[in-house]
Amino acid sequence: MPSQRRVKVFALLAVLAVLSFIYLSSAAASTRSSPFYTNTANALNTKHQEALDLENHQIIHEAAEKAEKEKEAANIRDPDLAAVPGQKSVAGRKMIKGEKGLKDDGVAKVGNTGAQHAQAADPDETEEEHKAEVELDSILKKSPIVIFSKSYCPYSKKAKAILLEQYNIVPAPYVEELDLHPLGPQLQAALLKTTGRRTVPNVLINGKSIGGGDDIAGLHENDKLIQQIKDLGGKRIMEVSKAEPKAALKFRS
């Protein structure tokens, strides 16, 4: 039979064990409810979720890249299905160029009027109007200076006399007599649309109108015509100077 002393020791140890268990349990509960523990746990959960999201994003991105490469490979195998910039598909197979709108800024553009209309004709434009636009573009290419005139017009004669007889211009101005041209009225309408002037003469330098007979006479009398031709003609004008007095003629009326 154990002694009374041993019984007391065992009882004391049992009490200490119970107290230790209670203390540790309460300490653990207190730790889990503390702000530090809560913040740390939340931070770990957030990091874990971010890692999962990043992994999912990478998987989706890789899948999209793979699909894009497969699509490109399919386009290479079938060129008719390949996307072409500036074009649109017809019935999923045939490609045609997309039409571009034309900007009318009141000034004829040298070398591009016909090209633009060749790309995209105005649906409301008649065949004659289209022909006139193409013809106008062709005329403007003949010389950096073009005089749209009518053979019987006195103001046209004045402008032609100044430009053709009182100045040496290389290349020489090109004269288009609208009353003798089969598309004369249509060209006159096209000039109104592109330059804002319908009357003749209409003198264009590199596609930009500088006016009619009185305007040319005013520039000539104020010694500004040569500079105007140089400014607007640019490199296309190789030479411009006043003719020798003996070669200068009076205006024809």
Higher pLDDT, 149 or 104: 149
Write down the pLDDT at residue 108. 37
Query: So what's the pLDDT on residue 196?
Result: 94
Give the chain's radius of gyration (CA, Å): 45
Question: 3-state DSSP call for residue 122?
Answer: coil
Tell me the angle at which helices 154-165 and 213-221 cross, rounded to the nearest 10 degrees.
40
CA–CA distance, 138 with 127 (Å, rounded to integer): 17
Q: How far is CA 22 from the centre of its chain?
A: 79
Q: What's the pLDDT at 54?
A: 63
CB–CB of 152/177 below 8 Å?
no
Query: What is the reported pLDDT for 44?
Result: 72
Q: Output the average pLDDT for the chain.
A: 76
The tokens describing 7, both together, are: 């019984």
Contacts of 217 (CB under 8 A, 6+ apart): 158, 159, 162, 251
Ramachandran region, residue 197 (left: φ > 0; alpha: ψ -120 to 50; beta: rest): beta
pLDDT bucket at 8, cuts 50 / 70 / 90? confident
Structure tokens at 37: 């523990």
CATH architecture designation of domain 127-242: 3-Layer(aba) Sandwich (3.40)
- What is the C-alpha separation between 186 and 129, in angstroms, rounded? 6
Report CA-CA distances (Å) from 23 to 29, 30, 38, 170, 242: 10, 10, 21, 110, 116
Choice between 239 and 47, residue whose per-residue pLDDT is larger:
239
- In this predicted structure, the answer to whether residue 189 has a pLDDT above a threshold of 60 is yes
Given a cut of 90, whether residue 208 has pLDDT beyond it is yes
Which residue would you say has higher pLDDT here, 115 or 18? 18
**What confidence tens digit (pLDDT) does each residue in 108-164 have?**
334 443 334 444 556 677 888 899 999 999 999 999 999 999 999 999 999 999 999
> Which residues, in sequence order, are bridge partners of residue 169?
240
Whole-number pLDDT of residue 106: 35
Specify the residue for token string 């997309």. 98
- Are 133 and 190 in contact by the 8 Å Cβ rule? The answer is yes
- Of 99-108, 158-167, 184-193, 214-223, the poorest mean pLDDT is in 99-108
pLDDT of residue 100: 40
What local confidence, expressed as pLDDT, does residue 27 receive?
A: 65
| CA 191 vs CA 112, 122, 139, 185, 234: distances in Å | 15, 17, 12, 10, 22
pLDDT of 60 higher than 90: no
- Residue extents of the structural domains in the chain: 127-242
How high is the pLDDT of residue 131?
93
Q: What is the mean pLDDT of residues 197-201?
A: 95
Under 8 Å between Cβ of 182 and 135 = no
Query: Which residue has better confidence, 214 or 64?
Result: 214
pLDDT at 22: 76
User: Is the pTM for the entire model greater than 0.95?
Assistant: no
Least confident window among 43-47, 97-101, 141-145, 207-211: 97-101
Quick one: pLDDT at residue 169? 97
**pLDDT above 90 as % of the chain:** 45
Position 34 pLDDT exceeds 70 = no
